[in-house]
Amino acid sequence: MLRLTEIKLPLDHPPEAIAQAALARLKITPKELLSCTVFRRAHDARKKASIVLIYSLDVEVKDEAGILKRYVKDVNVKPTPDIDYKPVAKAPANLKSRPIVIGAGPCGLFAALLLAQMGFKPIILERGKVVRERTKDTWGLWRKSILNTESNVQYGEGGAGTFSDGKLYSQIKDPRHLGRKVLTEFVKAEAPPEILIEAHPHIGTFRLVKMVENMRATIESLGGEYRFESRVTDLDVDTHANATRHVRGVVLADGTHIASDHVVLAIGHSSRDTFQMLHDRGVYVEAKPFSIGFRIEHPQSLIDVARFGPSAGNPILGAADYKLVHHAKNGRDVYSFCMCPGGTVVAATSEENRVVTNGMSQYSRAERNANAGIVVGITPEVDYPGGPLAGVDFQRIWESAAFIAGGSTYAAPAQRVGDFIAGRASTSLGDIIPSYKPGVTPTDLSSCLPDYAISAIREALTAFGRQIKGYDMPDAVLTGVETRTSSPIRIKRDESLQSLNTKGLFPAGEGAGYAGGILSAGVDGIKIAEAVALSMLAS
């Protein structure tokens, strides 16, 4: 099999043009081409009047060796690499103990799946509920302003990304193609097969729910065991004098002790009580940088036209996304975060009397508004000094301020961009109807973030208006606050992926500071499963 890359075709090409392009590229006849499949498809929209699709193709040809000889110097004609995942270990038939995975988000799910596939029969402990029950609780906040602090956007089966756009791309280095393993498992769990081909794939919320259930069925069929509504409240750490600290098990909220020498900690970025417990138990934790800001909403049609010009609305391109960065005069970096084309802004708090925003979309991305976080980078020493958990206190201050500014009902504070830039409170909203449920309160957002963040965002919005015409339109809506952009802590690990000072504990995923997003959390889950498996075989 050969991989042909950089095959460029116009947006409106007929299906047969793909094979014809392969023939033309290799200068062979149709009889010499045995098969041709698309491996990857991206688009280049830099010239809006002539957007091109860029393909990578896998082709079977009659004389592969001869063609390779002819194209030996061509970097775009190479043997198709073998990127199938190969397990690194196999559990013994007489498995003596079972690993524990705390958290059923993407990281915990992939750690559990891989451990189950290798035969290690993991026990998965999840503080929230099964995904269908959790969906009802989450809608309780969105529709009735009733927050369940144990079952919400952050907690429950599927983790934080379940009610999301399901964007599946990341900028991690992935030399072992573990991201491909994540995507392949998602497709087995009924994700749309296009995610294996599209350069910027997404899944959307409804499908994620079904996929999470299917992955549970697979893990259970391989001997894994789920326990929902099982919050881990303590670690059993062996701290005998002069001995290395070693985890021996966990304690649940109801007092149940579960023994294990191998515990994966895939708790996400919002499990603040668990962060505190880990710190109290002496697990090494340090503060890490994250970002804070607001969500912004525009008409999706404005973004489509700005990005795709006359091709806006073409179904192959779908709803357009964007990525923006601005270096503000006060030294702060402002950037767009978790952009959700054709989506909605969602209430994402897990704590009472706080307001947190985030974004989600369905697979169709057909809602009228585009939304994205507009966030400012912050660092521990400068912005929230005071110890490893100071970032959590900092987040709480602004989430509480947003709750109050929204009217203390879980409505979010909102402001027209025109008013925000002019520095005056909004008393009403304009043509763009904000999508946040349970609703918004027009107000002045400047009380909801530190001054340096407000002035940096003000400056950035005007600058973004020069990059995307209309981005700073007066009626665009800002909703606050976006504080859960990534974990405020890092639970540091050593080269064997165990906690720096507590052996047998494997900090993983976004909460531990080793992932940002669904795909990278899944990849980290795979790496952690491998590390746990190798450690179990060695012990």
441 touches 261 (CB < 8 A): no
Answer yes or no whether residue 215 interacts with ligand FAD by CB under 6 A: no
Residue 355 C-beta: closest distance to ligand FAD, Å: 14
CA 330 to each of CA 421, 424, 475: distance values in angstroms, whole numbers, following the listed order: 16, 21, 26
Residue with smaller CB distance to ligand FAD, 128 or 388 = 128
119 touches 221 (CB < 8 A): no
CA distance 421 to 107: 39
Residue 108 tokens, joined: 């915990």
- Please pick, from the candidates 21, 178, 212, 232, the single residue that binds ligand FAD as defined by CB under 6 A: 232
Q: Mark the segment that binds ligand FAD (CB under 6 A) among 50-58, 82-90, 126-134, 397-405.
A: 126-134
Residue with smaller CB distance to ligand FAD, 109 or 533 = 109
Answer yes or no whether residue 102 interacts with ligand FAD by CB under 6 A: yes
Answer yes or no whether residue 507 interacts with ligand FAD by CB under 6 A: no
Left (φ > 0), alpha (ψ -120 to 50) or beta: where does 158 sit?
left
Interface residues for ligand FAD in 152-181 (CB under 6 A)? 153, 155-156, 159-161, 163-167
Residue with smaller CB distance to ligand FAD, 56 or 371 = 371
Answer yes or no whether residue 488 interacts with ligand FAD by CB under 6 A: no
Residue 356 tokens, joined: 């947190």
Residue with smaller CB distance to ligand FAD, 99 or 442 = 99
Answer yes or no whether residue 142 interacts with ligand FAD by CB under 6 A: no
Mark 348-367 with x for binding to ligand FAD (rule: CB under 6 A) and - for no binding: x---------xxx-------
Answer yes or no whether residue 104 interacts with ligand FAD by CB under 6 A: yes
Residue 49 C-beta: closest distance to ligand FAD, Å: 30
Answer yes or no whether residue 346 interacts with ligand FAD by CB under 6 A: yes
Helix H, strand E, coil C: the string for 470-525 is: CCCCCCCEEEEEECCCCCCEECCECCCCCECCCECEEECCCCCCCCCCHHHHHHHH
Mark 415-454 with x for binding to ligand FAD (rule: CB under 6 A) and - for no binding: ----------------------------------------
Mark 263-282 with x for binding to ligand FAD (rule: CB under 6 A) and - for no binding: ---xxx--x--x--------
Answer yes or no whether residue 343 interacts with ligand FAD by CB under 6 A: no
Nearest to 491 by CA among 283, 289, 291, 290: 283
Residue 9 C-beta: closest distance to ligand FAD, Å: 28
Residue 458 C-beta: closest distance to ligand FAD, Å: 25
123 touches 538 (CB < 8 A): no
Residue in the structure block whose two tokens are 């966030």: 375
Answer yes or no whether residue 509 interacts with ligand FAD by CB under 6 A: yes
Q: List the beta bridge partners of residue 36.
A: 59
Interhelix angle 106-117/205-221, rounded to 10 degrees, is: 30
C-alpha angle with apex 414: 446 to 516, nearest 5 degrees?
A: 85
Neighbour tally for 297: CB within 10 Å: 28
Answer yes or no whether residue 122 interacts with ligand FAD by CB under 6 A: no
Answer yes or no whether residue 481 interacts with ligand FAD by CB under 6 A: no
Residue with smaller CB distance to ligand FAD, 163 or 464 = 163
Residue 306 C-beta: closest distance to ligand FAD, Å: 21
Q: List the beta bridge partners of residue 506.
A: 264
Residue with smaller CB distance to ligand FAD, 120 or 275 = 275
Q: Mark the segment that binds ligand FAD (CB under 6 A) among 104-112, 285-293, 371-379, 473-481.
A: 104-112
Written as one letter, the residue type at 367 is E
- Please pick, from the candidates 510, 532, 533, 536, the single residue that binds ligand FAD as defined by CB under 6 A: 510
Residue 453 C-beta: closest distance to ligand FAD, Å: 20
Residue 218 C-beta: closest distance to ligand FAD, Å: 17
Interhelix angle 131-144/205-221, rounded to 10 degrees, is: 150
Q: How far is residue 382 CA from its own chain's centroid?
A: 27
Residue 39 tokens, joined: 């491996």
CA distance 148 to 128: 10
- Please pick, from the candidates 7, 53, 120, 126, the single residue that binds ligand FAD as defined by CB under 6 A: 126
Cβ-based burial of 385 (10 A; exposed 0-12, middle 13-18, buried ≥19) = exposed
User: For ligand FAD, how many residues bind (rule: CB under 6 A)?
Assistant: 44
CA distance 116 to 506: 17
Helix H, strand E, coil C: the string for 347-361 is: ECCCCCCCCCEEEEC
Q: Mark the segment that binds ligand FAD (CB under 6 A) among 17-25, 217-225, 240-248, 516-524.
A: 516-524
- Indicate the DSSP class of residue 446: G
Answer yes or no whether residue 373 interacts with ligand FAD by CB under 6 A: no
Written as one letter, the residue type at 331 is G
| Cα atoms in the Cβ-side hemisphere of radius 13 Å centred on 531 | 26
Neighbour tally for 438: CB within 10 Å: 17
Residue 31 C-beta: closest distance to ligand FAD, Å: 44
Answer yes or no whether residue 527 interacts with ligand FAD by CB under 6 A: no
Residue with smaller CB distance to ligand FAD, 224 or 442 = 224
Residue 249 C-beta: closest distance to ligand FAD, Å: 14
CA distance 291 to 380: 11
Q: Where along the sequence are the contacts to ligand FAD (CB under 6 A)?
A: 102-108, 125-128, 153, 155-156, 159-161, 163-167, 231-232, 266-268, 271, 274, 338, 346, 348, 358-360, 509-511, 515-519, 521
